[in-house]
Amino acid sequence: MTMDVIVAARRRTRRLVACVGVVLVGVAGVAVLGWLRSPPAPDPAMLPDGAAGAIPSASPAPDPATGAMLPADVTWTRLAGVELPVSATTGPAQITGDLARGFAHSPAGAAVAALHLLVRTTAQVGPGVFEPTIDEQVTGEHATAMRYVVGDLYRRGAAQAGLAYGQPLAELPARLVGIRLDSYTDARADLSVLTAAPDASGVTYYAATPVAVVWADGDWRLLAPPGGRWDELVRIVDPANTASYTQITAR
């Protein structure tokens, strides 16, 4: 294989990683859906290593009936087509005014918070949800940039769809399928969220998004990604390399 072919293949792979990844976490809206229709094959060099980063032994064992660190009393609420867990044990204790608040100060609470805040800060949910969520529940030096990025994606998506400002966009094209707790302290939890979405031919692609939440003012808050964007962090995952994630299954 010549060098120019190798370089071209790697460029296609980087575009796939970025475009599919942001579709899976929902922050790029409908503008990038075309990339999912006929993606090139992922470069094996871009795929994460096997099953590294399993949940530390200090974390609670997953409940086999409900998935990753979710207690037996879990129920589900639907937002932008995504099922999100709710539990008296882990929280959120309150879902009011489109904000989800009151997560348990525990590894399980951090995991549930990460899932809720990741989805609630996407353009698809509409400004009635993502604006107050970013303003009140996102922290870090890139929080302001995240508000601008998500707002811009929403405005472009709404204009393309012919929607009045304030209406939610189309449902997210991805499913939350797994979560992995990579590290935990009382002040911060680092997790990886596994999402899945099919392309036009029905082939399912998996992507991993590293998500950090920090404990501040009595609740978990999302740490904004660099530049307010997730696309540089998301990575395509080979289905064979998903064993380190515990499954999320809405019952």
**For 82-107, how does the pLDDT look when each residue is reduced to its tens digit (9 = 90+)?**
999 999 999 999 998 789 999 999 99
pTM greater than 0.85 (yes/no): no
Q: What is the mean pLDDT of the chain?
A: 78
Stronger pLDDT, 58 or 25, i.e. the higher one = 25
pLDDT digits (tens, 9 = 90+) for 179-192: 999 999 999 999 99
Confidence of residue 24 (pLDDT cuts 50, 70, 90): very low
Query: Where does residue 128 fall: left (phi above 0), alpha (psi -120 to 50 degrees), or beta otherwise?
Result: alpha
- Torsion 139-143-147-150 (CA) sign: negative
C-alpha distances (whole Å) from 118 to each of 37, 52, 204 are 24, 23, 21
Count: domains in the chain: 1
Domain around 69? 3-247
How high is the pLDDT of residue 130?
96
- Lookup: tokens for 28: 């790029």
CA distance 251 to 65: 9
